Amino acid sequence: MSVQVEPVVVQRWSLRPGVYRATAANGDLMLAAWPNAALLGRTSPELTALLEELSGEPVALPESPAVDGMRAGGWLSKVVFCAGRPLHTVVPIAPPAVVEPPVGGLRLSRFAVLRNTDDGLVVEKPGSWCDIRVHDPAVAALLADPSGDAGLPAEAAAAVRADLIAAGMLVAEEDTSFTERQWGAHELWFHERSRLGHRGWFGAHFGGTFWARGHHAPPPARPEPYAGEPITLPKADIAALRREDPPLTAVLEDRESVRDHDDDNPITLERLGEFLHRCGRVRLERTLDGFEYTNKPYPAGGSAYELEIYPVVRLASGLDAGMYHYDAHDHRLRLVVPGEHQAVRRILKVATESSVAKSTPQVVLVISARVGRIMWKYEAMGYALMLKHVGVLQQTMYAVATAMNLAPCALGSGDSLAFTAATGRDRLAECAVGEFMLGSRRQEVAAWEL
């Protein structure tokens, strides 16, 4: 009598999570995981039994053309066992890609991330056709030392390695391609996960799902006020500006970044008030289904208007140096910290260094986001949305500053920690996401006047 010896490495298969069985209009059986679907052919007892089998605990891969099609279409998960213990599961999110075997030594791709989820540890990489769920510490050890065996039998280590290579997670040691090297790991992750595509689909933990409704109270439209005495700001005369302002084309064509300010005639409190009124005041507030929506002169996704403006003042006529918060509801300023505060000096210094300004700007407008205003509604794309709003607000600031003959210049980055130090706000609740320099514009002097 011959005894069948179970091989050291065994693979078992099942339909991947999130796949539905359905019947197409023509009666064919189909698999669906929105937005993809695959027709499997005429309903038959064999096909129904096969799908039944693949819907339960992972099984040895049955041989049939339908199974080949499901495998090639990325509909089947594969669990790999070593001597009965599960090592990892390959969970496709797309049809398996053909990956060229790396030449030379192996390393973990710098885009691959091992992280914890409700279903345990998983290795994910932007652009990969699958995730790899880690069940055994030896798999994590192989990530650290891809050429070793992590204490596994050689055949098992080779099976794990092969799946990690096929997933694009273990790559060749040398990486010389510019297209890959230009991406920071966090940037590629952020791009992939905040856009529709491989795994992001509206409603599937993506987009305006209102996921927090019923679990957390929505943050109110009005932020918590700072303790400083309110400073009432002059307003713009919108009716007069409708008649007298330079036309749109003149504003667009004359707009330029001006980094040099006229300290002999600094920006005034009145001009700053008009600027803020035209760019950032609350024009409208209404509550719908328990959420306080607002409206401002610039557009904002979800009408949540999560952005706040903090003028950081070095020099302004009628206003002491310091960091202020702009109360967009009541159009007034409140002091956050005075000019001597280290954070104020730091924000002004960083702005000067990140521009080619000859001198420190008169005012840096720090734009913060009250994160919860957006995150209460949106999943996965909320932070990307906030950064888009920064751009929208910056362009509005450029346009208004140009119309007012002020000196505007957006900044590409700033010091978020200085903002947190000055405001004392929890950085997960409110953080600095943008900066804009503003000041008085030097009047151009004709050569004959010199």
Ligand X SMILES: Cc1cc2nc3c(=O)[nH]c(=O)nc-3n(C[C@H](O)[C@H](O)[C@H](O)COP(=O)(O)O)c2cc1C
Contact at 8 Å (CB) between 135 and 89? yes
Q: How far is the CB of 410 from ligand X (least distance, A)?
A: 4
Q: Which has the closest alpha carbon to 94: 76, 108, 79, 118?
A: 76
Contact at 8 Å (CB) between 108 and 37? no
For 246, other C-beta atoms within 10 Å of its C-beta total 16
Rg of the chain over CA atoms, in angstroms? 29
Q: Using the minimum distance from each CB to ligand X, give the nearer residue, 332 or 389.
A: 389
Backbone angles phi, psi at 295, to 5 degrees: -145, 140
Structure token pair of residue 403 = 């119309």
Alpha-carbon distance of 295 to 237, in angstroms, equals 19
Alpha-carbon distance of 71 to 93, in angstroms, equals 12
Alpha-carbon distance of 225 to 205, in angstroms, equals 33
Q: How far is the CB of 399 from ligand X (least distance, A)?
A: 12
CA dihedral of residues 162, 163, 166, 169 (deg, nearest 10)? -100
Q: How far is the CB of 298 from ligand X (least distance, A)?
A: 14
Q: How far is the CB of 178 from ligand X (least distance, A)?
A: 23
Task: Summarize as ranges the residues that interact with ligand X (CB under 6 A).
Answer: 256-257, 259, 354-356, 394, 409-412
Alpha-carbon distance of 381 to 337, in angstroms, equals 33
Q: How far is the CB of 256 from ligand X (least distance, A)?
A: 4
Helices marked H in 33-100 — which ranges? Answer: 45-54, 65-72
Q: Using the minimum distance from each CB to ligand X, give the nearer residue, 43 or 413.
A: 413
Structure token pair of residue 418 = 């200085």
Q: How far is the CB of 112 from ligand X (least distance, A)?
A: 31
Contacts of 197 (CB under 8 A, 6+ apart): none
Q: How far is the CB of 364 from ligand X (least distance, A)?
A: 11
Q: Using the minimum distance from each CB to ligand X, give the nearer residue, 224 or 253.
A: 253
Q: How far is the CB of 328 from ligand X (least distance, A)?
A: 21
Alpha carbon separation from 192 to 75, 185, 195, 222, 326 (Å, rounded)? 21, 11, 6, 33, 34
For 63, other C-beta atoms within 10 Å of its C-beta total 7
